[in-house]
A and B are shown apart, each in its own frame.
Chain A
Amino acid sequence: MKIAFTTKGTKWDSQMDPRFGRTEYILVYDEETDQLSSFDNSDIANEAHGAGPKTAQKLFEFNPDILITGNGPGGNAASILEKTGVKISLGAGEMTVKEAYTAFKAGKL
């Protein structure tokens, strides 16, 4: 399974970013290959309007199955995620990526 996170850094011990549209980074973990890849979202975060949809579009390029984040995407971004079949898991805004992953696996989110 491919899992995406909204984060403030590119490592397992980086802090999660509770936001979606203006998150600092998107981190994607591929469970099968045990690979971690990331995307610097600062250009999109700097957009005046429509940061959410643009980030969702970027996410789509990675094709994750699940997105783990904090407060959740706004309406526009959420509809893209719905259309592209990405499931969303909320409540992981204030922890490290590793903790978020562990919590998710344990069904705590």
Chain B
Amino acid sequence: MKIAIASGKGGTGKTTISVNLASFLAEDKEVVLVDLDVEEPNSGLFLDAGLIHQENKFKMIPKWHEDACTLCGICQEVCNSNAVIQLDTIIMVFPQLCNSCYACSELCPTGALPMIPEKMGELKHFKNEHLHFVESRLEIGQEHAVPLITQTHKYIDEHFTNDLIQIFDSPPGTSCPVIEATKDADLVILVTEPTPFGLHDLKLAVETMQQLNKKTIVIINRHGIGNDEVFDYCQEENIPVIAKIPNSRLIAEIYSKGELIYPQVPEFRQEMEAIKTFILNFRKEEVR
């Protein structure tokens, strides 16, 4: 079962929820936590797990073969990303701008631009008893997060069955990396905070998930600060609020040290129980 944890606004507690929920569920179930916030993957900072596998992730980019080139300029013409530039007698390729559409390579009349793999990031696979943790990290300077997210999904499908609970920590916002991260999810959990910023960005996230036709539920984090508008909005839109994590300086301090919260704060553990119950019931319903 695939569960995506997303949010409109950054800093609402997506990663906090992801790592705590995954660890909590892993107490008696097989779980894989996947960090898809490839520009700033943070979940690993909270987990004490051993590295069992690492691989470079590649995207395909064209490589110029001078000897075969007739300098016709078609490659530059067909590149919509400005990743292929002709300077008099040389062709320069900019891997960071390339989105791997293959147009230049396949339309080149002399085959002077074959596609070769280039490193765009790294995937690491960790394990600690029942919890598997997979993290992908985009190289700085790479423009496109989507290809790395796609390849990470592929790795997960190759190594894990859908029987496991798969939790995907998604990037914040509503742009294309978020779409790519959440599009195969069976359930999307939006983490928000009960403030005007939280509400505003939650609405954008809800709209996005509606466009993707995703079953969406909400967790309100730092409940107690701000106001009730977020809760009221969820009621109006018939979006279940399955947990309300209380605003607590203690929780913030534990988080700041990079430690898990549910072993140390009973009220937080209670909310994890509530989320677990919902997820297991949901899974039963889905199977029917």
Taking beta carbons and an 8 Å cutoff, which residues of A are in contact with B? 47, 49-51, 53-54, 56-57, 60, 75-76, 79-80, 83-84
Contacts of A75 in B (CB 8 A): 96, 141
- Interface 9-mer from B81-89, B161-169, B217-225: B81-89
Cβ < 8 Å to A, chain B residues 30-83: 81-83
With a cutoff of 8 Å between Cβ atoms, the chain B residues found around residue A76 in the complex are 94, 96-97
Number of A-B contacts defined by CB within 8 Å: 39
The 10 nearest A-B residue pairs measured at CB: A50-B82, A50-B97, A76-B94, A57-B85, A53-B85, A54-B82, A49-B81, A60-B87, A49-B97, A53-B94
- Across the interface, A51 reaches (CB within 8 A) one of B82, B87, B88, B90, namely B82
Give the shortest distance, in Å, between A53 (CB) and chain B (any CB): 5
Contact-size category for B: 10 to 19
Known: A76-B96, A76-B97. A53 touches B88 (CB 8 A): no
Please give, as numbers and ranges, the residues of chain A lying within 8 Å of B267 by CB-CB distance.
none
Q: How far is the CB of B103 from chain A (nearest CB, A)?
A: 14
Question: Cβ of A84: which chain B residues have Cβ within 8 Å of it?
Answer: 87
With A53-B85, A75-B96 given, name 8 new contacts (CB 8 A). Answer: A47-B82, A50-B81, A53-B94, A57-B85, A57-B86, A57-B87, A83-B92, A84-B87
List the A residue with the shortest CB-CB distance to B82. A50
In the complex, what residues of A have CB within 8 A of residue B129's CB?
Answer: none
In the bound assembly, the distance between CA atoms of A91 and B94 in angstroms comes to 26
Q: Which residues of chain B are near A57, meaning CB under 8 Å?
A: 85-87
- B184 at interface by CB-CB < 8 Å: no
B143 close to chain A: CB less than 8 A:
yes
Contact A49 B88 (CB under 8 A): no
Q: How many whole Å from B66's CB to the nearest CB in chain A?
A: 13
Measured between alpha carbons, how far is A80 from B84 in the docked complex, in Å?
11
Residue in A closest to B99 when the chains form the complex, CB atoms:
A49
Structural contact, A83 and B87, CB atoms closer than 8 A: yes
| Complex contacts, B97 vs chain A, CB 8 Å | 49-50, 53, 76
Q: Hey, which chain A residues are within 8 Å of B94, CB to CB?
A: 50, 53, 76
Set B85, B88, B90, B143: member contacting A54, Cβ < 8 A: B85
